Amino acid sequence: MVRRPPLVAATLILITISAFVWLTLGVIIAAGAHPAIPDVPLVRTLMAVGSLAAAAVLAVIVILLARRIRIGYWMGVAALTTSSVVIFFDDVGWTDLIFLALCLIPLFLLLRDRTWYLRRETGFASPPSSR
């Protein structure tokens, strides 16, 4: 078993926190308790479903990254980059800045530790080189 570096563990924890934030936001919107969401049922439903879908995608990414499945790395980079960019399409307040940090910090950590996520681990020795 390969030991997980501390910054990789921190990345997984931060992405998990982001997933819980999206899950919480989705539940709050679905319950009609978010004051900034219009009371139009279609808008509220779409916003809630989108938030819950984001939570599910992030949860899948955490599982894939923890298992060192390569597509998880690329999905993580894409999802965190997209989330970071989308934040600027709205009025940026202090909550948006906190969420931006929750996207950018794990993104930078993913990029920093890319060799750990993308390296293939095999149980076999390297094949002899042909000289």
**Domain residue ranges in the chain:** 6-118
The answer for residues whose C-beta is within 8 angstroms of residue 24's C-beta and 6 or more apart is: none
Which pLDDT does position 38 carry in this prediction? Answer: 84
**Residue 124 scores a pLDDT above 70:** no
Please indicate whether residue 125 or residue 119 has the higher confidence score (pLDDT): 119
Residue whose structure tokens are 């990414």: 61
**Residue 125 scores a pLDDT above 50:** no
Q: What share of the chain is helix, strand, coil (3-state, %, to 5)?
A: 75, 0, 25
Q: Contact, 37 vs 50, CB < 8 A? A: no
Which pLDDT does position 48 carry in this prediction? Answer: 94
**Residue 111 scores a pLDDT above 80:** yes
Of all residues in the chain, what percent carry a pLDDT higher than 70?
Answer: 90
Give the model confidence (pLDDT) of 7-60 as tens digits. 999 999 999 999 999 999 999 999 989 888 888 899 999 999 999 999 999 999
| pLDDT class of 88 with cuts at 50, 70, 90 | confident
| pLDDT class of 1 with cuts at 50, 70, 90 | low
Q: What angle do CA 59, 61, 69 make, to 5 degrees?
A: 140
Which pLDDT does position 93 carry in this prediction? Answer: 87
Mean pLDDT of the chain: 89
